[in-house]
Structure formats: structure tokens, C-alpha cells
Structure 1
Amino acid sequence: MSVNPSSTILKMERPQAPFLIFDIETVPDIPLLAKNFLDDHFHEEDISLKWNDYLLLKKIKEKENIEFPKTIYHSIVSICALYIDPETYYIMDGFKRTIPKVNSYHEFLSHEKKIIEEFWQFSMKYQDFHKHWYDHTFNRNLTEYQKSKLKKLPVTFCGFNIANFDLMVLEQRSLIHFITCPIEDYVKNLGNDSYRYKYAADKVFDLMNFVCNYDNRNARVGLDTIAKAIGLGGKMAGMDGSLVAEEYYCNHASQKIEEYCAIDVLISYGVFLAIQKFRGIISDAQFKECILWFERWLLKEGKPANYQELVKESTKFFNYAKNT
């Protein structure tokens, strides 16, 4: 998709990078859990053969009283994402990758590595969105310090609870697979100008952290709750995160998992628009324009049936632009 950045050339403030709203679905890495929690008499070859043994997973969780494993034990089976234009707030591009049914732990890990690598590369796809602006600015008489503060910002990661979970899983599973993050300043330079600095909202805009203002006791709400509160449809019927492992390991339901992940991203986009309106980043008129565009996009010919179901369940949300 070609992007025309000419409207940003005369802006003197640093422009907003494209937003990448994303979500991941995970299953427990059974062999990794077994290596750490089962008795030593289990050989590594035996554990690898049981990589998709759902009963073994339940046994480990019950034995160790593990309700929700730490992030390192979560294998990524699906990633869905939407690029959002930072000027129009329309959807620019999309990404869907899910591990299909596989026959071995080695094959499973190979697929996981591939979709993680592809997602990191996708996060760089619009790194030149504001290239003309940066070229224009850097041609001015700036000090090296000023130039360092104007370094390119290729993407702003966005999503619900991504700072506390999704990005942590991506980073740790990347470590396991020896993947190098292609974003130059993602982790090379740390500190309060880093993607890993939790208050750097120009790099990671976590919708949950915004909604609860980092209060995880009294104000924390789930995506389903906030979505329904603003009139959006909730998560896909018959699915939630606790069912993903069983659906993948027992039912080989990769397509169902991907659809569930995609719907979560679409709901996150609706919540994101509402937050940007509340913040005054977009005007009431632009918000209405965006949600009407979003409704048309969801109903566009060729879109999956569950996108149309989301529209039916989101009447209150879309009617805001029609009745006021």
C-alpha cells in the first residue's frame, strides 16, 4: 500500500508512527513445563513425544498448582494484527498467522519461530511512513543530540494488556528461538526512551494500562467488559483464552483460534478509537467518521461471517455516529 506522507512535511512536531494493534493466542509449552516440573526420570525424548499431550499438561498444572503459567512457558500459536494510519485512523493493513496441525514438537517450534519472525518483520513494514518528514527535518541545522531525539519511530505497538503479556511472550519466545528483533532501538538502547519503558506510550500504547491507569486492583477490566460497555460486541461466542490449549491440542482447531484472535484485534481497534476520542486526539466528527468507515469495512464483501456478526452485536457503538 502506497502512503503519501506529504501532509507531514511542514509539521514541526515529531509525527506519530503508525499504530500496530495486535493480539496473540498461546498454548502452554508442555515439554518446557515438563523439564522444569516433572521428576528427573522423564527423558527429554519422552517429553518431546508428549509435546501435545493435553492430559500431561493438566497433570503438571494440578501437581504444581499452576493456574496460568509464566510467560516463558507460553508458545505462540496465532498472531493477528492491524496497522492503523496515524492521520486518518483507518485500517491500513493486516496480518494473520497461525500454526496449523503439525506432527512433532520440532515442527511445532519451527512454525512458531517462523510466525514470530514474520510478525517482527511486519512491524517494520511502514518504517518509512514519515520518511519525507525526517529527511526534511534532518536537513536543518540540528545538533547530534537533537538528531538523536528525532530518530525514526517505525511503529507504535498497541493492544490490550500487551505490555504485561503479549510483548513479554514475544520477547521471551524470540530468545528461545535466537531471533534478533529487527527494530533497531527496541532493546539495543534501554532507559526511558526505550520500547521497554512502560510509560513510553509513543512506542507501546497498552489500552488496558490506559483504561485502568496502571491500577490492577480496583480499576482493571478485561477487553470483553470494556468493549461491551461502549456498545461493541464482545469476544467470539464459545471461545476464551482458557480454551485455546484444548482447542489446539485436542481439536486441532487452528482456524477457530485465528478467528478468535482476529475478533479480539477488531474489538481492540474499536476501544482504541474511543480512547483516542476521550483523549482529544481525534475530534467527535473524526470519531464518527472512523466508526462508520469501520462498520463498512467489516461488512465489505469477502469478509468472514464473524465480522458481520460483530457488526450486529455492535449496534449501540455504530449508532453513535448515526443518531447524534
Structure 2
Amino acid sequence: MLYKLNLEHILFLDIETVPQEPDFSKLNEVGQELWGQKTQYQRKDEISAEDFYQRAGIWAEFGKIICISVGYFTFKGETRNFRVTSFHGDEVHLLKQFKQLLKEHFNQAKHLLCAHNGKEFDFPYIARRMVIHGINLPYKLDLFGKKPWEVPHLDTMELWKFGDYKHFTSLKLMAHVLGVPSPKEDMDGSMVREVYYKDNDLDRIVSYCELDVITTAQVFLKLRNEELLADAEIKKV
């Protein structure tokens, strides 16, 4: 079935998130209490809610999206290209830009969204942040009433599970074992908060996010046993 999908109908994406505030002390009293309650089972006994706040970007209730990068295939004769672009900065603005992209170019039943661990993180995170900001959900993220086989989402990590529910594989590991060349990254996901709040270097985060989109597309090609993208086929727009 995977081989029958038209690559031009798939939008690959990745998001980068950070805590809503630079540090725990910026939260009001209610926010601090709710954060402690939300994370009490994830934290070890010796880790306080304040110390754990650096991981707040993982939760849509306490984090925010600072970048959504997307990529899509185009074919013209024998020429294949993978076009990559990003929405970043103000969260409301980037969410509306992303929604507009879906509305104008990926709004048909044949269109699919694809991300690594997207079903557990990227897709629900985007949807929750849209609801929080009062943005009506686009069709591709509104799953109410849809049957499992009607959900227009692909997840490279889920595809790699082959039915093994307990199996988690990072994008970096999956790319490594499948022989996808590792991009020269100067950061990893654990550094995003510091690069955003301390270094104030959003451009660096955007570049990192775009590399993950490209890697996700490369992994997807390997799952279809197809030739990887060459550097010349990747276009940033």
C-alpha cells in the first residue's frame, strides 16, 4: 500500500517547540501549581517542578510552537524536487500560515500529512495550540468522527513499528540504520529552548527543523525502497 501512494500528495512536516515562558518563575501561581500536577508522575522525586520546567515545551498546555517546517515533492518529467519552507516566529501567525497552506494546497481527500512520531506529537500539538488560540481546525487536523482508516496522517515511526506497540525509534536512529546520510547538525532537540531563549537564534532552530523534514522524507523513501534525494533535488523556498 505504501508504494501506491503518490509522493506529490504528501506534506512532510516537523515542529519545534519551547516552554511558553523562559523560566518557571514567570508562570503565575496557578500555572506553577498546574505544572507541578501535570508532571508529578514524569518527574523523579529529587527533581522539582521548577527544575523540570525546562522540558515544558513537550506539553501543548505549557509550551508553544516557534517553527513549523514543511516539505513536498514535485515532479516535472524525469525531474524530481523536494521543496522545503518554514513558518516561524509569532505562534498565532505561523499557525494561520500553516492552515492557509493546507487550505490552498493540501485540502483534498487524497492529501496526507507525514511526520516522525507525528501521531503522538506534531499533529495533536498543532491542533491543541490552534484550539487554544481560537483558530478553527483545518480538515486535515480535525479528527472528530473519523474512522481510523480515514485519518489522513502518516507516521514514519509507526510505519517502522510493524505492529510493535512498545517500540520507539528516534528519527536519527532510524535514518542511521536505513543508511540515510546524517545531516551536519550543530544542535539537537534538547538544545532548542536554550538556543531560543538564551541565544535568541531562531534562524538556527529553523535550519535544524528543516533538516528533520528532509530526513523524514528520506526515511520515507527508504521505506518504499526508492532512491534517496540528492542535494541538488532539495530546494528551499
TM bracket (short chain):
0.7 to 0.9
2:148 aligned to which of 187, 192, 196: 192
Query: Partner of 2:91 in structure 1?
Result: 112
- Following superposition, the deviation at residue 98 of structure 1 comes to 1.7
The CA distance in 2 between the partners of 1:253 and 1:64, in whole Å, is 21
Counterpart secondary structure, 2:214: helix
Number of positions where the alignment pairs a residue of Structure 1 with one of Structure 2? 218
Whether the 8 Å contact between 1:79 and 1:261 is mirrored in structure 2 is: yes
Counterpart secondary structure, 2:215: helix
TM-score (norm 2): 0.76
1:20 aligned to which of 11, 21, 31: 11
Report which of the two structures shows the higher radius of gyration computed on alpha carbons. 1
Query: Partner of 1:159 in structure 2?
Result: 115
Whether the 8 Å contact between 1:74 and 1:169 is mirrored in structure 2 is: no
2:157 aligned to which of 191, 197, 208: 208
2:104 aligned to which of 125, 149, 152: 125
**Structure having greater relative contact order (Cα 8 Å, sep ≥ 6):** 2
Counterpart secondary structure, 2:119: helix
The CA distance in 1 between the partners of 2:185 and 2:5, in whole Å, is 42
Query: Partner of 1:84 in structure 2?
Result: 73
The CA distance in 2 between the partners of 1:167 and 1:39, in whole Å, is 27
Query: Is 1:169 aligned to residue 106 of structure 2?
Result: no
For residues 257-305 of structure 1, what are the alpha-carbon distances to aligned partners after superposition, in whole Å with 9 as ceiling and x for unaligned? 000000011111110101122xxxxxxxxx23xx3x533224x7xx69x
| Alignment-mate amino acid for residue 208 of structure 1 | M
Query: Is 1:297 aligned to residue 233 of structure 2?
Result: yes
Structure 1 segment 138-287 matched on structure 2, within 5 A: 152-153=108-109, 155-183=111-139, 186-187=142-143, 189-195=145-151, 203-213=152-162, 215=164, 217=166, 219-234=167-182, 236-277=184-225, 287=226
Query: Partner of 1:45 in structure 2?
Result: none
The CA distance in 2 between the partners of 1:189 and 1:16, in whole Å, is 27
TM-score (norm 1): 0.57
Change (3 A) 1:14 1:239: closer
Change (3 A) 1:91 1:186: farther
Whether the 8 Å contact between 1:18 and 1:126 is mirrored in structure 2 is: no
Consecutive unaligned residues of structure 1, counting only runs of 5 or more, are 1-12, 41-57, 100-110, 129-151, 196-202, 278-286, 305-324
| Alignment-mate amino acid for residue 204 of structure 1 | H
| Alignment-mate amino acid for residue 100 of structure 2 | Q
For residues 169-196 of structure 1, what are the alpha-carbon distances to aligned partners after superposition, in whole Å with 9 as ceiling and x for unaligned? 101100111001232783354333543x
Identity rate, percent: 22
Change (3 A) 1:268 1:262: same
Whether the 8 Å contact between 1:85 and 1:92 is mirrored in structure 2 is: yes
The CA distance in 1 between the partners of 2:232 and 2:192, in whole Å, is 30
- Following superposition, the deviation at residue 23 of structure 1 comes to 0.2
Deviates more, 1:60-69 or 1:265-274: 60-69
Consecutive unaligned residues of structure 2, counting only runs of 5 or more, are 35-46
| Alignment-mate amino acid for residue 79 of structure 1 | I
2:86 aligned to which of 96, 107, 110: 96
Counterpart secondary structure, 2:148: coil
| Alignment-mate amino acid for residue 170 of structure 2 | G
Counterpart secondary structure, 1:247: helix
